[in-house]
Structure 1
Amino acid sequence: MSVLLGVSKLRKRFGDRLLFDIDRLELETGRAYVLTGVNGSGKSTLLRVLGGLEPAEVGHVEFEGREVTLRPYPKALRNAIVYVHQHPIMFSTSVAHNIGYGLLARGEPKARVAEEVEQAMAWAGVAHLCDADPAKLSGGEKQRVALARAKVLKPRLLLLDEPTANLDGMAREQVIALIPTLVEAGSSVVMACHDRDLIGLPGVRRIKLRDGQLEFR
């Protein structure tokens, strides 16, 4: 597999505290990863740094073979990398509008947005919620809507922060079932989690963040 994203000398500090000092991070194209580590080790922060939502010190960054920066965060990465929060924020409109928002913000034609949204809702199993008030969705429904909202953007890299946290039963199983299809569609996926079923998905590679360093397994 080719390297999608390569980052060297990545450091994150909070005041005098050094959260992590990563010599080298490489993510391959079309590969799924789980990022594990104890609470407070910096998993979520690392995802936010890669997603352009958090500043950090960095030496060298390559994306799809081209040198880029993380600060300022370039449009090429903004369009290619999508971060999904553990507790997704929903706009007070409708489920369909939430899913299509990113495409509309990019200036895509409304007809194409409607088609993409319809397909994404079917994929995520939320078509019956098309006109529903997002504030009334369950945790599992919000997570699936958030994944559909990410999927329509066709990200090269998808960063998922605890995608099954606080979910149980059918809701958790539905979210887990969507992950392999994202990889099959061509996205690389990094999931910060402790979920043994996500860690055990076929083809998933484990990365552990411990004492500020990354261990690939």
Structure 2
Amino acid sequence: MSALLTIRGLHKRYGERQLFNIDTLTLDAASAYVLTGVNGAGKSTLLRILAGLERGDCDSFEFDGKLLRLHPYPRELRCDIVYVHQHPIMFSTSVAENIGFGLRARGMHGAALAQAVDRAIEWAGMEHARDTDPARLSGGEKQRVALARAKVLRPRVLLLDEPTANLDGPAREQVIALIPTLLEAGTTVVMACHDRDLIGLPGVRRLKLRDGHIEYRPQKGEHDETP
């Protein structure tokens, strides 16, 4: 499997405090990863740096075979790498309008936009709420809308920050069921989480952020230990 993203010597400091200093982080194409670690280890910060939402420094950054800068963040990567917050912000319009927001910002309109939104709504199982104000949705429904809003952009890397946190059983199951379909579409997915069901999904690789470094852990079925 070929490497899609490789970053070396990635470091982040807050004043005198060094949050992490990662020797090498490699993400393969069309692969799934869970990023674990104790609270405060820097999981969310790492995802935000990869998405260009927070500054980080590195020795080298390679994406799809091209050497790029991490700062200033390359404009072209904003289409390829998408971040979904644990508590996604929704516009007070409708589910359909929220899902189509990014596509409209990229210049898509008319029938092509409508078809893309329809497919995303169906994928997320949100047909019943197409014209609903997201403020009226449950936590699980908001997360599915956020995933659909990201998926419709067809990112090559999707970064999910605690996608099942604070969701009840049925809502968690609905969100978890969407993850394998993202991989089938060729997207690399990185999930910062502690959810054992996500960690245990077939083929998911494990990354643990501990003491400022990334540890690669065995996949399910291999010799393992508690995350």
Partner of 1:163: 163
Q: What are the within-5 Å matches in structure 2 for residues 187-202 of structure 1?
A: 187-202=187-202
* Distance (whole Å) between structure 2 residues aligned to residue 9 and residue 39 of structure 1: 22
Partner of 1:74: 74
Q: Which runs of 5+ in 2 are unaligned?
A: 218-227
Partner of 1:85: 85
Q: How far apart are residue 109 of structure 1 and its match?
A: 2.7
Q: After superposition, give the CA deviation of every residue in 1:142-175 in whole Å (9 maximum; x if it has no partner).
A: 0000000000000000000000000011100000
Q: After superposition, give the CA deviation of every residue in 1:126-153 in whole Å (9 maximum; x if it has no partner).
A: 0111100111111000000000000000
* Distance (whole Å) between structure 1 residues aligned to residue 210 and residue 133 of structure 2: 41
Which one-letter code corresponds to 2:182 in the other structure? L
With the length of structure 1 as denominator, give the TM-score of the two structures: 0.99
Q: Which runs of 5+ in 1 are unaligned?
A: none
Partner of 2:203: 203
Partner of 2:65: 65
1:197 alignment partner, SS class: helix
Partner of 1:181: 181
Q: What are the within-5 Å matches in structure 2 for residues 111-122 of structure 1?
A: 111-122=111-122
Which one-letter code corresponds to 2:72 in the other structure? P
* Distance (whole Å) between structure 2 residues aligned to residue 33 and residue 124 of structure 1: 21
Which one-letter code corresponds to 2:39 in the other structure? N
* Distance (whole Å) between structure 2 residues aligned to residue 74 and residue 46 of structure 1: 17
* Distance (whole Å) between structure 2 residues aligned to residue 114 and residue 104 of structure 1: 10
Partner of 2:13: 13
Which one-letter code corresponds to 2:25 in the other structure? L
Where does structure 1 differ by over 4 angstroms across 4 or more consecutive aligned residues?
A: none
Partner of 2:147: 147
* Distance (whole Å) between structure 2 residues aligned to residue 116 and residue 89 of structure 1: 21
2:215 alignment partner, SS class: strand
Partner of 1:51: 51
Q: How far apart are residue 47 of structure 1 and its match?
A: 0.2
Which one-letter code corresponds to 1:175 in the other structure? V
1:75 alignment partner, SS class: coil
Q: How far apart are residue 75 of structure 1 and its match?
A: 1.8
* Distance (whole Å) between structure 1 residues aligned to residue 47 and residue 127 of structure 2: 29
* Distance (whole Å) between structure 1 residues aligned to residue 45 and residue 16 of structure 2: 16
Which one-letter code corresponds to 2:70 in the other structure? L
* Distance (whole Å) between structure 1 residues aligned to residue 216 and residue 65 of structure 2: 21
Identity %: 70
With the length of structure 2 as denominator, give the TM-score of the two structures: 0.94
The total of aligned residue pairs comes to 217
